[in-house]
Structure 1
Amino acid sequence: MALYRDETRVKKANPHSAFETVHKPGVKVPYSGIYRCVNCGDENCCNKGDPFPPQNHHQHQSQSPIGWQLLVMAVQK
């Protein structure tokens, strides 16, 4: 679970498809932010345009595949 220090600087997101999509390892990151694996809960900071961590980045206890889902979107002005 992502931690934050100052709750006045965090906004709850309105429904947005960016938070619903699960991405496969190695594909390009669509939004900079913190992504969480939907199967094991591991979190990773990812930059827009970079590839998601590869399948062998970390190993699951089970045979479930790695799938990255946006948890916190970084917004730049």
Structure 2
Amino acid sequence: MAVYKNPNYLQPSTSDAFDHDQGPRTAASLAGIYRCMGCHREIGIAAGHALPPHGHHTHTSAQGSIRWRLVVYADHNPK
């Protein structure tokens, strides 16, 4: 699970960008931390870079397919 120390650096969001899974080898829609929804591994990745492939790690049949979901967005245009 992603963790943080200073809450001043994060803000909540209701964006639907956090509601969609992306498959292996697809381009990350936004820069940030992505979580595998089957096994809960997390990765940091730049926008547009390919998410890890199927061979990155293995799942049990109970975990299902590898699918990545954005959990923390790195905003490059702060207000």
- TM-score, structure 1 as length reference: 0.91
Q: Which residue of 1 aligns with 2:5?
A: 5
Q: Which residue of 2 aligns with 1:34?
A: 33
State whether structure 2 residue 42 is matched by structure 1 residue 43: yes
SS of equivalent residue, structure 2 residue 17: helix
- Which ranges of structure 1 fall in alignment gaps of 5 or more residues? none
Instruction: Give the whole-Å Cα distance in 1 for the aligned partners of 2:69 and 2:50.
Output: 14
SS of equivalent residue, structure 1 residue 18: helix
Q: Which amino acid aligns with 2:36?
A: C
Q: Which amino acid aligns with 1:71?
A: V
Which stretches of structure 1, 4 residues or longer, exceed 3 Å deviation after superposition? none
Question: Pairwise mapping of residues 54-69 of structure 1 onto structure 2 (< 5 A)?
Answer: 54-62=53-61, 64-69=64-69
Aligned residues: 76
Instruction: Give the whole-Å Cα distance in 2 for the aligned partners of 1:57 and 1:21.
Output: 20
CA RMSD of aligned residues (A): 1.1
Instruction: Give the whole-Å Cα distance in 2 for the aligned partners of 1:26 and 1:47.
Output: 13
Superposed CA deviations along residues 34-63 of structure 1, whole A, max 9, x for unmatched, are: 000111100011111110000110112336
Q: Percent identity?
A: 33
